[in-house]
Structure 1
Amino acid sequence: MMPLGGQPGRCIGLMRGFSGWSSVFAWWKSLAAPDTFPILEKKRISGGLRMAACVRLELLPGHYAVSRLDGAEPIPAWADGAGFVSISRSANELSIVCLQARVPGGVKSEGEWVCLQLVGPFAFSETGIVLSVVRPLSEAGLGIFVVSTYDGDFLMLKAADLDRGRRLLTEAGHRLG
């Protein structure tokens, strides 16, 4: 969907039957500082207004790896450090996402991922945020890996798919910084 006003990050799709133009106008006037509204939740409001999520994403530096260790193993020292890090444990596995350069040889791992941060924070009650970013990539057949934190979400995309992913996300109305 093309953003209203033709500017990324200011998306609002208007559907038939909407009669609350004064609310839309007040909202539009409030956008003097566009970065204060990093996302608009996708929702239907009475009268038929539908807003499409417009998420600002930042590409984090470096290539990342997703590693798997046995669930009983302790968290290794190499896992923590600079860059984005996610450590998840289940009964069967210990999964570690970190900069690829830190993963030692011999560790079961898949590398060459890039990391896009969905710039938040987002309220837990906001819905459709991850879906709005994942859908265009998934529909185009791109493999992804998503990690959520308290304040936001991180999307891992294969480095070889980055240019195509940027194009798809921009066409979907998202902003990449």
Structure 2
Amino acid sequence: MPPPLNHPCLELELLDQTFFVKQLPVDAGVPVAIVSGLNAAQDNPSIFSITRTREEISIVGEAIGEDGEWKCIKIAGPMEFGMTGVICGFTTPLKNANVPVFAMSTWNTDYVLIPRGKVDEAVAALMEDGWKFRHISLKHA
């Protein structure tokens, strides 16, 4: 399934840094070290997300050095809020290539984390499907 629109806001960017994804029980609360790190990151902003539901707390952030197990593909954005089918169109070729994803959305765009060891497969599947990367070289994991 090709991208829903051929538009610069749908170009992809493979971010250089690695990421961590943590799941905590809902009654655990957000660790003080995580909150402190978030406050300290104001001078050096990076991707950081805390999502709490009735079942769990999920935390995603930039790993220190190359310790992260995930890489991130960012859809350029900003996208109009009413644009539909983007995440479905993006994840379908990844599903077909057997690449697991952890998706996060913001108002402006979507970020999709993939396991480090699956980067080349993910990039190849997306490019074959018609997605365009802004800057890419296949030497990732």
Q: TM-score, normalization: structure 1?
A: 0.62
Give the aligned CA root-mean-square deviation in angstroms: 2.4
2:139 is matched with: none
Distance 1:2 1:149, change over 3 A: closer
Distance 1:142 1:91, change over 3 A: same
1:42 is matched with: none
Distance 1:173 1:78, change over 3 A: farther
Gaps of 5+ in 1: 4-9, 12-36, 40-54, 103-110
Matched, 1:112 2:69: yes
Greater gyration radius: 1
Q: 1:153 is matched by which residue type in structure 2?
A: D
2:127 is matched with: 170
1:77 is matched with: 35
List structure 1 runs of 4+ shifted beyond 6 angstroms: none
1:148 is matched with: 105
Q: Give deviations 1:40-92, integer Å, cap 9, x for gaps.
A: xxxxxxxxxxxxxxx31111121111112232313533552342111101123
Gaps of 5+ in 2: 135-141
Q: How many residues align?
A: 123
**Structure with the bigger percentage of helix:** 2
Query: What's the % identity of the aligned pairs?
Result: 29
1:100 is matched with: 63
Matched, 1:38 2:32: no
CA contact (8 A) 1:112 1:159 kept: yes
